[in-house]
Structure 1
């Protein structure tokens, strides 16, 4: 038998409590919070009111979100600045906050991570043809968001 799934409706205070928990669990951006509220079928006025409350009570802070996002993606996933920037733009983070987030990444750590990542990946590439080896390494590093001038300099340093 086919039937419609019962959609729960929330009062303003229920939604507020739910979103406080959602934001307290993990830093969120405004876009994520608005999408969550729309999934909960909240009306635009309620969404604005809840987002305003979350900002005032410091549950929602895009600068904090973007800095944590950049540090985490760099440290854990070893993403480059291009990929981090792209992902933050997808989340509608301002240029100012993106710039602040990228400053969180230490230049020495950045170059050391690129070196470690390139060397590790190079050991995994079984291709014997020199140009194909270079291309596979470049594609891998570029996909992860590393700047092309750094990628090609690293490839020329590692593969002769």
Structure 2
């Protein structure tokens, strides 16, 4: 027998989602998905999201900025990966641009340098071309811009 999904009143759902948003910044898409999982109807979802925006529980610009800072500082992602992830969450171009301004350019380049050097030490490949490819693949996967990656590889592997 399948467990029946609990049903929520509008006020119960609001409280639950307020806590969900208070715990961590969320984007509109995550909140709408969570409400759908809770079995809320589209009209209730719109009403609750409106309430969350009005009460400042939901703010896409704040979400985009904290997301960009977090992924850069903690996971060492490059701007391309951050932009793609924000686009997948339906964040507007304006908010994405605003979020990328949170990343200091000098810190960005220093992080790329440290990441590349650390990774290069871990690559045991003797063939120079294969070493370059492995390092490039690693940095590109993490979302670093290709022109920066290739400049760094040229600088590090001679």
Question: Shorter-chain TM-score: what band?
Answer: over 0.9
Unaligned runs of 5+ in 2: none
Unaligned runs of 5+ in 1: none
Instruction: Report deviation, 1:7.
Output: 1.0
Aligned to 1:152: 150
Structure-to-structure mapping, 1:84-95, within 5 angstroms: 84-95=82-93
What are the superposed Cα offsets for residues 69-98 of structure 1, whole Å, 9 maximum, x if unpaired?
Answer: 000000000000000000000000000000
Query: TM-score under structure 1 normalisation?
Result: 0.98
Secondary structure of the structure 2 residue equivalent to 1:77: coil
What are the superposed Cα offsets for residues 84-120 of structure 1, whole Å, 9 maximum, x if unpaired?
Answer: 0000000000000000000100000000000000000
Aligned to 2:81: 83
Aligned to 2:65: 67
RMSD after superposition: 0.3
Runs of 4+ in 1 over 2 A off after TM superposition: none
Aligned to 2:128: 130
Query: TM-score under structure 2 normalisation?
Result: 1.00
Instruction: Report deviation, 1:4.
Output: 1.6
User: Aligned pairs, how many?
Assistant: 158
What are the superposed Cα offsets for residues 28-62 of structure 1, whole Å, 9 maximum, x if unpaired?
Answer: 00000000000001001100000000000000000
1:4 partnered with 2:33: no
Structure-to-structure mapping, 1:7-86, within 5 angstroms: 7-86=5-84
Alpha-carbon separation, structure 1, partners of 2:4 and 2:10: 19
